[in-house]
Amino acid sequence: MADTVRDPPPDGTDFHELEDGEELFPEPAAAPEESQPASLPAEDISTNSNGPKQDLLFDDDPEDLFAEATEEVSLDSPERDVLLSDGPSPAITPITPPTSVITPRIGHAHDDMFTHSSFDEIEEEEGGDSFDIHISVSDPEKVGDGMNAYMAYKVTTKTSMSLFKQKDFSVKRRFSDFLGLHSKLASKYLHIGYIVPPAPEKSIVGMTKVKVGKEDQSSNEFVEKRRSALERYLMRTVKHPILLKDPDVLQFLESSELPRAVSTQALSSAGLLRMVNKAADAVNKMTIKMNESDAWFEEKQQHFENLDVQLRKLHASVESLVCHRKELSVNTAQFAKSAAMLGNSEDHTALSRALSQLAEVEEKIDQLHQDQANGDFYLFSELLGDYVRLLTAVKGVFEHRMKTWQKWQDSQMLLQKKREAEAKLQFTNKPDKLQQAKDEIKELEGKVQQGERDFEQISKTIRKEVSRFEKERVKDFKTIIVKYLESLVLTQQQLIKYWEAFLPEAKAIS
Amino acid sequence: MMEKYNRRVKAADVTTPQSSQYGFLTGLSPQSTLPNFKQNEFSVVRQHEEFIWLHDSFVENEEYAGYIIPPAPPRPDFDASREKLQKLGEGEGSMTKEEFTKMKQELEAEYLAIFKKTVAMHEVFLCRVAAHPVLRKDLNFHVFLEYNQDLSVRGKNKKEKLEDFFKNVVKSADGVLVAGVKDVDDFFEHEKTFLLEYHNRVKDASAKSDRMIRSHKNAADDINRIASSLYTLGTQDSTDLCKFFLKVSELFEKTRKIEARVAADEDLKLADLLKYYLRESQAAKDLLYRRSRALVDYENANKALDKARAKNRDVLQAETSQQLCCHKFEKISESAKQELIDFKTRRVAAFRKNLVELAELELKHAKGNLQLLQSCLGVLKGNT
């Protein structure tokens, strides 16, 4: 039954099993270890008392692994820390980890809490691999000429995971390849509730400048921005345990030749189709009125809505800071030149020298401002931009859940109608029509059940995805903001050095 | 017997900025031990126009042609701040209550700071006059300081402003002609070339420093907004990040204040210095112009005398006129030389003082910033 839980998105059956394995909460009954369930911190979902109980209503099938899992969770005292399902995978999954792997890990469950998500632990279980992969995007190279030219980026993967054929390898990819990858992943996973990281945005203006061959600062900056964005995109994608294993991702990283993703072009027919679909979606969103029986989802949606608003605001302020900092750098450089000229024309020797020194200090400071502006941008601003885009993906999965619910409701209503029609047919003497109706009803009943299962599945997936997303968010913001503050520290230290060197010069004026 | 001239100019209680809309008012409390002052300590209220009147009276006085006339204080300019305050009022609906009160307080502080600075600049003008051995004896100056009624000095009306404009045009055209005359005196020749170049470069440096400082202020404003956003994020977040954001927001609040102070100090120590020497170097140029003018007049008088002697007509008249011109020229030359030397001394001293103070302040603020950043990082890293 577990196999038919969802529409088959990936190719290959190992995928199914892996997914099952990853979704599981520790089952006290099946678990060979004696770890007390109560000691395992509860998953975030239990903070909302509605959540687990609701699930219980659906999961009365004893074969369904989820049933006991949710029971187990609701028994725990809801804690805000995230659960590590470091228990063993249940019997159903063919890849049962050796018991020896289990016990040691319980010990460092808490240590790893902030460095690995629950999925990573499951990774460890299954392949004996830790999450060890680092991707870098580098060496942008212009290929071709004129309007057909493009930038080729070198994508280097360094990993010790057995998932990959080699430990250290690289390939050449162009921007549309990245877009193609995202498009494939989105079509496979978004509609079943996985938060697929969005690809960097296209920029017709930026690319045209590069194509035309302008070798100036702004086009260099554009390429660097893009390179950095592509790197972050890939790292985010592989951090997702499901996406990491997707064959498209593996092919993207490993294979030397990749079929051109033509459908990513904005003006292609696929592009136009996308635009039409987006418009249709927007209309649909407005018309779906879902009976939200699970307050957790409503709460989370509101939370993400608020977060979106605030992040956009913050992002705008940081972008403004980057802009003003760059201006400050330029103006400081100009002042430095002016001060140097003033120093030249000053006829008092000591003052003249001091003014020249001032000019030198200001010149160094202008470079400092330039570097800081880059820090502002690449660390702070891009982090915020990435999360604003990620939140659209998050909102997307919530919408898909609504659509799934709608589909379920629609089949239910249709079933109802058919049943009514069948009841009426009972009183007429049309045996073949009756049989047809009965057949249709049978079919619809199956559809309704499927719809219900799909809805449950996507709800479950979203809960886990949201918890993983939030963990990643906390980690990302903490790490990057700390890095940003450290960059600010460096700037101040340099400033101190420069002014300390200047002060005696100023005092030496007699 | 050295006249101990101790002059202290104290600004009146700075009332709410609105009152300055109608003119700049300041109370002066000069203390003097000069015998020709009727009291020792007294105060009057003067408007900006009255300062300008005093300055112009110096410029127009032929007796003072040989001195660098201390530059007039600049007109108080509250327009920018008033505009910002107005815009803030209009945008009241679009921000939270805290943000609004915060920005309002800051704008009011900025307004006050500009007010104080303007008062200080007027004070500097008067102190310069008081320090000048000749100008301090000027009658108008005494009236300015003592007469405790309104001086009824009206600002120049349109006709007079037009006259001034034409006078300036004539002067600058003349100045070009006069500047072309090469001076036999090396000292003055050097001073002329020096001042011309110096004045232009100070002008440029002043403009560039203003732009630099404005960018700095803009960046500080951005950090302010970032701090507010982080605060909101911190209060909204339900994860670990809430404490994190609140701490970083607090940090940015503090560093922003320091950045604003850096901009303000740079403004005070660097921009104002350059602006002042822009005006002083102009005053020095004016002195040189007057001297060159007197030289030209002298040379013309010489030529006239030669002609008169040749024709043997109006010789006496020509002789007196020539003597007057000679006397005027020599008087100006003598005092101008001293004035220019003093100018250099003053300039060097002012630059030294301000550059040292600038460096010290920059260091103080950078160290303050560093300390805030490091202590915050310590807390953040310790918690995670």
Name the more confident of B256 and A427.
Answer: B256
Give the span between the Cα atoms of A139 and A223, in whole angstroms: 10
Please report the pLDDT score of residue A248 as a whole number.
Answer: 92
A9-18, A368-377, B212-221, B300-309, range with the lowest pLDDT: A9-18
Q: Is the per-residue pLDDT at A347 higher than 70?
A: yes
What angle do helix axes A295-345 and A349-375 make, rounded to 10 degrees? 160
- Decide if A338 and B204 are in contact by the 8 Å CB cutoff: yes
Q: Which two tokens stand for residue A269?
A: 């027919």
pTM over 0.90? The answer is no
Please report the pLDDT score of residue A437 as a whole number.
Answer: 84
Name the more confident of A138 and A116.
Answer: A138
**What is the phi/psi pair of residue B151, to 5°?**
-80, 0
Question: What's the pLDDT band for A95 if we cut at 50, 70, 90?
Answer: very low
Share of chain B above pLDDT 70, in %: 83
B380 interface with A at CB cutoff 8 Å: yes
Nearest by CB to B373, which of A334, A350, A489?
Answer: A489
Instruction: Give CA angle at A371 (A370, A374), nearest 5°.
Output: 90
List A residues 96-115 in contact with B (Cβ-Cβ < 8 A): 114
Q: Residue A503: what residue type?
A: L
Of chain B, the end-to-end C-alpha distance in Å amounts to 74
Nearest Cα residue in chain B from A359: B205
Name the more confident of A149 and A196.
Answer: A196
Average pLDDT along chain B: 81
| Cβ neighbours of B383 in A, within 8 Å | none
| Backbone angle region of B50, left / alpha / beta, with phi > 0 → left and psi within -120 to 50 → alpha | alpha
For chain B, give the number of residues. Answer: 384
A124-128, A194-198, B365-369, range with the lowest pLDDT: A124-128
pLDDT digits (tens, 9 = 90+) for A445-480: 999 999 999 999 999 999 999 999 999 999 999 999
- Decide if A492 and B370 are in contact by the 8 Å CB cutoff: yes
Nearest by CB to A332, which of B212, B218, B347?
Answer: B212
A346 interface with B at CB cutoff 8 Å: yes
Please report the pLDDT score of residue A203 as a whole number.
Answer: 81
**What is the phi/psi pair of residue A36, to 5°?**
-70, 125
Q: Which two tokens stand for residue A456?
A: 């449950």
Give the residue among A334, A321, A331, A336 at the shortest CA–CA distance from A374.
A321
Mean pLDDT of the region A217-239: 90
Please report the pLDDT score of residue B157 as a whole number.
Answer: 72
The residue of A299, A310, A337, A376 whose CB has the most chain B CBs within 10 angstroms, and thus the best one to mutate to test that interface, is A310
Give the span between the Cα atoms of A30 and A21, in whole angstroms: 13
Please report the pLDDT score of residue A85 as a whole number.
Answer: 34
Give the CA radius of gyration of chain B: 27
Place of tokens 């921007």: A175
Give the span between the Cα atoms of B245 and B228, in whole angstroms: 10
This model of the complex carries an ipTM of: 0.84
Give the span between the Cα atoms of A492 and B274, in whole angstroms: 26
Give the span between the Cα atoms of A271 and B351, in whole angstroms: 65
| Cβ neighbours of A345 in B, within 8 Å | 194, 197-198, 201
| Residue pairs between chains A and B whose CB atoms are closer than 8 Å | 165
Name the more confident of A300 and A262.
Answer: A300
Would you say A196 and A185 are in contact if contact means Cβ atoms under 8 Å apart?
yes
Give the span between the Cα atoms of B222 and B260, in whole angstroms: 11
Q: Report which DSSP code applies to A200.
A: P
| Cβ neighbours of B360 in A, within 8 Å | 503
What distance in Å separates residue A284's CA from the closest CA in chain B? 30
Where does residue A431 rank: exposed (0-12), middle (13-18), buried (19+ CB within 10 A)?
exposed
B170 three-state secondary structure: helix
What distance in Å separates residue B271's CA from the closest CA in chain A? 11
pLDDT digits (tens, 9 = 90+) for A13-71: 433 343 443 444 444 443 343 334 333 333 333 333 333 344 334 434 444 444 434 43
Instruction: Give CA angle at A425 (A424, A431), nearest 5°.
Output: 165
Instruction: Give CA angle at A396 (A395, A402), nearest 5°.
Output: 95
Q: Residue A74: what residue type?
A: S
DSSP run (H or E) holding A134: strand A133-143
Where does residue A242 rank: exposed (0-12), middle (13-18), buried (19+ CB within 10 A)?
buried
Q: Which two tokens stand for residue A96?
A: 């049962």
- Decide if A478 and B384 are in contact by the 8 Å CB cutoff: yes
Mean pLDDT of the region B37-49: 67
Q: Which two tokens stand for residue A277?
A: 């679909």
Give the span between the Cα atoms of A28 and A30, in whole angstroms: 6
pLDDT digits (tens, 9 = 90+) for B158-170: 777 787 777 777 7
The CA dihedral of A155, A157, A162, A165, to the nearest 10 degrees, is 50
Give the span between the Cα atoms of A58 and A333, in whole angstroms: 68
Question: What's the pLDDT band for B284 if we cut at 50, 70, 90?
Answer: very high
pLDDT digits (tens, 9 = 90+) for B249-267: 999 999 999 999 999 999 9
Mean pLDDT of the region A245-257: 90
Please report the pLDDT score of residue A439 as a whole number.
Answer: 87
Q: How many CA atoms lie within 13 A of B91 on its CB side?
A: 13
Would you say A131 and A123 are in contact if contact means Cβ atoms under 8 Å apart?
yes
A178 three-state secondary structure: helix
Would you say A193 and A401 are in contact if contact means Cβ atoms under 8 Å apart?
yes
Q: Which two tokens stand for residue A222?
A: 């554009």
List B residues 298-357 in contact with A (Cβ-Cβ < 8 A): 344, 347-348, 351-352, 355-356
Please report the pLDDT score of residue A263 as a whole number.
Answer: 62
Q: Which two tokens stand for residue B319?
A: 């002789």
Q: Which two tokens stand for residue B49?
A: 């126009």
Nearest Cα residue in chain B from A80: B239
The residue of B352, B367, B374, B384 whose CB has the most chain A CBs within 10 angstroms, and thus the best one to mutate to test that interface, is B352
Q: What does B305-330 look like in DSSP terms, one character per residue?
A: HHHHHHHTSSHHHHHHHHHHHHHHHH
B165 interface with A at CB cutoff 8 Å: no
